[in-house]
Chains A and B, each alone.
Chain A
């Protein structure tokens, strides 16, 4: 499980960074989204991976840390997802505004010349 998660984070980050460095705004926004998925998984992983362990207290198990998984990273992930989502939406609006102003989806607002 560890290897799958870390591979997933790695692939998402690598593709995210690659797309972030591309010249089209749409690629940039997808890159940022992938990057934020990778970060969210990473935060989740920092709470250590546990199977079949709830993050909330159950009757009878209070004080027995072995039965529960760490709830804090899950709460952090939730916050990070919400914020990341809002920021992506905002970026999308700016992207459309830029497209409207310049008529191109290049991040610099004009096409590169190939001469």
Chain B
């Protein structure tokens, strides 16, 4: 591994940070230039994350690859960035999603407020940092970068409803950040380390008193992540906030909940994995119960939603719940399927958020949640006509309808698309159909999970059917929305990514399986981080 290759690992954080900062002094009138700058930067990130994914999935990686020591301090003392299959996957997903949302925003949404593209880049920097860091406190810092940018983005477009949703969103996240700090400092107080790899090594050897303190700390920390992930009793802020956000922002917010899931997956398997002694499997029952309740709550919410924005927001909850419960059940054979589900559902929900606004554009201004959207248009109304660049697409309703059908299939998890493949992979892992190991005993919790997984799919199907019929078949006003190419392309691309994922399910599942295997091998992770050689002179 040559020297410059080594430095690739910090680029996913540095690049958006620098591009975002460089955009701030540029005048807001050059929005298009900013948009192109941001798009190019995100495109570069996407290619970069592909490269990193390749590096991460090399079997015979040289020692120390994928571990970046900031300031060249070795692991437990300095802060490290760690690249493995899971973080590479998340990086790829983030940049892909960001690419779509950014292209979409260029059509009109970035005009409804200031510094949209800068905030967007900072959000990506925070997300990438959270996925790459191998240090708990560093995770906090990146979390805050991500959250600060997300506050700005949620308020983008302004209007009373967004400000109200933003106020609640900020208040709950600030409270969650306090919990995060309490948890981190408790863990530090008991173990004297913040490095995740070091922590997982030290946990088994702790005295019972100290272990108790670590568990309390991890519990408090977990609450902070579960607020982000939207687990049931902590998720009431989510539907309002997501439904109030502008479409490109909501699309990229689809991955914010996954950050919480990512951290929980990483920490519960790394720190509280099989090697943790008496603490092994800590918190799994909470994740399971919370996850199941979240699926149920989300499914009821999906059925109860009148507006499509809320429907999509409740789908986010269903997706979170499915993943949390899968982590809680803790069967190693299920995790690969769960990761596949994570990718597929994130792409679907993002595409759906983008699609909603296009579909609803043609409808009556007074209709349900549209009040929110229209408010944002209020100020920009006069220059809207000239700002809308690009040609409108022909056959608008047909294309929108087709995209809607695809999202419905994906959300409900019906064959032949990736939503089905993902759920099938989870279930076959649960029932031990993969054939690699003996069939595990199926417990009551497993059956509850299976039932809820299928019922939530049914709920999504019913709700999507109802909304689809109301919008496409029985719509009273026949105004066809004006949709430009640059707006529909991101939706099509995201859905095409799901179709591609279904076609290439074999290779994708192999990657997920390798990811899951490496997650269940915490010793390999710690060994890689702690024994990484320093750059330059040894």
Residue positions of A touching B, CB distance < 8 A? 20, 25, 28, 32, 35-36, 38-39, 42-43, 45-48, 72-73, 76, 79-80, 83-84, 86-87, 90-91, 94-95, 97-98, 101-102, 107-109
Is B177 interfacial (CB 8 A cutoff)? yes
Interchain CB contact under 8 A, B137 and A76? yes
Q: Can you give 11 contacting A-B residue pairs, CB < 8 Å? A: A28-B171, A36-B178, A39-B181, A72-B194, A76-B137, A79-B137, A84-B177, A94-B167, A95-B167, A97-B155, A109-B163
B85 smallest CB distance to A (angstroms): 30
Assembled-state Cα–Cα distance A72/B187 (Å): 13
A16 smallest CB distance to B (angstroms): 8
Q: Which residue of the partner chain, among B140, B144, B148, B163, contacts A98 with CB atoms under 8 Å? A: B163
Assembled-state Cα–Cα distance A98/B174 (Å): 17
Contacts of A90 in B (CB 8 A): 148, 151, 170
Given the interface pairs A79-B137, A91-B174, A94-B155, the reply to whether A109 lies near B185 with Cβ below 8 Å is: no
Contacts of A83 in B (CB 8 A): 141, 144, 177
Residue positions of B touching A, CB distance < 8 A? 137, 140-141, 144, 148, 151, 155, 158-160, 163-164, 166-168, 170-171, 174-175, 177-178, 181-182, 184-186, 188-189, 194
Chain A residue at minimum C-beta to C-beta distance from B175:
A20
Interchain CB contact under 8 A, A91 and B182? no
Q: Which residue of the partner chain, among B141, B159, B166, B174, contacts A87 with CB atoms under 8 Å? A: B174
Given the interface pairs A28-B171, A79-B141, A91-B170, the reply to whether A97 lies near B177 with Cβ below 8 Å is: no
Assembled-state Cα–Cα distance A102/B178 (Å): 29
Known: A46-B185, A87-B144. 17 other contacts (CB 8 A): A38-B178, A43-B184, A43-B185, A46-B186, A46-B189, A79-B137, A79-B141, A84-B177, A94-B166, A94-B167, A97-B158, A97-B163, A98-B167, A101-B160, A101-B163, A107-B167, A109-B164
Contacts of B144 in A (CB 8 A): 83, 87
Contacts of B185 in A (CB 8 A): 39, 42-43, 46, 73, 76
Dominant secondary structure at the B interface: helix
Give the 5 A-B residue pairs with the shortest CB-CB distance, closest first: A46-B189, A43-B185, A101-B160, A46-B185, A109-B164
Assembled-state Cα–Cα distance A45/B140 (Å): 19
Contacts of B186 in A (CB 8 A): 46
Assembled-state Cα–Cα distance A102/B158 (Å): 13
Contacts of A84 in B (CB 8 A): 177
Contacts of A97 in B (CB 8 A): 155, 158, 163
Assembled-state Cα–Cα distance A46/B166 (Å): 33
A65 smallest CB distance to B (angstroms): 11
Dominant secondary structure at the A interface: helix
Interchain CB contact under 8 A, A94 and B163? yes
Contacts of B164 in A (CB 8 A): 98, 102, 108-109
Contacts of A108 in B (CB 8 A): 164
Interchain CB contact under 8 A, A39 and B182? yes
Assembled-state Cα–Cα distance A20/B171 (Å): 8
A91 smallest CB distance to B (angstroms): 5
Assembled-state Cα–Cα distance A35/B171 (Å): 12
B24 smallest CB distance to A (angstroms): 16
Contacts of A76 in B (CB 8 A): 137, 184-185, 188
Contacts of A25 in B (CB 8 A): 167
Chain B residue at minimum C-beta to C-beta distance from A86:
B148
Interchain CB contact under 8 A, B181 and A43? yes
Interchain CB contact under 8 A, B160 and A102? yes
B250 smallest CB distance to A (angstroms): 18
Contacts of A39 in B (CB 8 A): 178, 181-182, 185
Interchain CB contact under 8 A, B175 and A35? yes
Interchain CB contact under 8 A, A46 and B163? no
A106 smallest CB distance to B (angstroms): 10
Assembled-state Cα–Cα distance A39/B182 (Å): 6
Interchain CB contact under 8 A, A109 and B160? yes
Interchain CB contact under 8 A, B167 and A72? no
Contacts of B151 in A (CB 8 A): 90, 94
B495 smallest CB distance to A (angstroms): 35
Contacts of A107 in B (CB 8 A): 167-168, 171
B182 smallest CB distance to A (angstroms): 6
Chain A residue at minimum C-beta to C-beta distance from B137:
A76
Interchain CB contact under 8 A, B174 and A32? yes
Residue picked from A46, A79, A86, A108, most chain B C-beta under 10 Å? A46
Interchain CB contact under 8 A, A80 and B181? yes
A99 smallest CB distance to B (angstroms): 9
Interchain CB contact under 8 A, B181 and A46? no
Assembled-state Cα–Cα distance A95/B397 (Å): 41
B5 smallest CB distance to A (angstroms): 31
Chain A residue at minimum C-beta to C-beta distance from B155:
A94
Contacts of A35 in B (CB 8 A): 175, 178
A28 smallest CB distance to B (angstroms): 6
A7 smallest CB distance to B (angstroms): 17
Contacts of B189 in A (CB 8 A): 45-48
Assembled-state Cα–Cα distance A25/B144 (Å): 22
Assembled-state Cα–Cα distance A17/B140 (Å): 21
Assembled-state Cα–Cα distance A35/B172 (Å): 13
Interchain CB contact under 8 A, B188 and A73? yes
Chain B residue at minimum C-beta to C-beta distance from A28:
B171
Contacts of B167 in A (CB 8 A): 25, 94-95, 98, 107
Contacts of A95 in B (CB 8 A): 167
B246 smallest CB distance to A (angstroms): 16
